[in-house]
């Protein structure tokens, strides 16, 4: 039996981009930091919460490009200002990526008690019925 690519299945016309999306998601490079939750906050709304203790709002960036939500964190380097006797809190940068479905929009973000909340809304798609005329040769 031969393996068929998702985009080349005869019933899935125009879904080649979905296959690329799945591949991109599989190799997004997300390690385990920072930990996060994804919750459904309404019928068509969601919230992603990341534990970003130690990061200020200006240390974080949130972008959406090509249906991919990317959250990055980078803390400023203050090595010369403080002398640590023990350093158990890592000051490292991170990048978390989430692939968004068509119609999902980021509606807002806020920081609260060391947690970054990113709110998402899935728009209700319009039902479109199209009648195709059959032309005579």
Rounded Cα distance between 22 and 49, Å, is: 23
pLDDT surpassing 70 at residue 82: yes
What is the residue extent of each domain of the chain? 30-122
**In the predicted model, what is the mean pLDDT of residues 93-114?**
93
Q: pTM here?
A: 0.71
In terms of Cβ atoms closer than 10 Å to its own Cβ (0-12, 13-18, 19+), residue 78 is exposed
Please name the fold of domain 30-122.
Immunoglobulin-like (2.60.40)
Average pLDDT value over all residues in the chain: 84
Question: DSSP letter string over 18-44?
Answer: HHHHHHHHHTS---S-S-EEEEE-SSS
pLDDT surpassing 90 at residue 134: yes
Rounded Cα distance between 80 and 92, Å, is: 17
**In the predicted model, what is the mean pLDDT of residues 65-86?**
84
Res 8: pLDDT: 61
pLDDT surpassing 80 at residue 52: yes
Lowest mean pLDDT among 33-42, 58-67, 72-81, 105-114: 72-81
Question: What count of other Cβ atoms lies within 10 Å of the Cβ of residue 71?
Answer: 21
Nearest to 96 by CA among 44, 52, 133: 52
Res 75: pLDDT: 83
- The share of the chain scoring above pLDDT 70, in percent, equals 74
pLDDT surpassing 90 at residue 114: yes
């Amino acid at each position: 039996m031969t393996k068929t690519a998702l985009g080349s299945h005869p019933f899935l016309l125009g879904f080649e981009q979905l296959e690329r999306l799945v591949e991109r998601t599989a190799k997004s490079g997300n390690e385990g930091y920072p930990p996060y939750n994804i919750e459904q906050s309404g019928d068509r709304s969601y919230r992603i919460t990341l534990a970003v203790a130690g990061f200020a709002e200006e240390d974080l960036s949130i972008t959406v490009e090509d249906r991919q939500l990317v959250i990055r964190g980078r803390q400023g380097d203050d090595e010369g200002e403080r002398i640590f006797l023990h350093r158990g809190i890592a000051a490292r940068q991170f990048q978390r990526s989430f692939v968004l479905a068509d119609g999902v929009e980021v509606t807002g973000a806020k920081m609260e008690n060391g947690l970054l909340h990113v709110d998402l809304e899935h728009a209700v798609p319009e039902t479109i019925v199209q009648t195709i005329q059959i032309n005579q040769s």
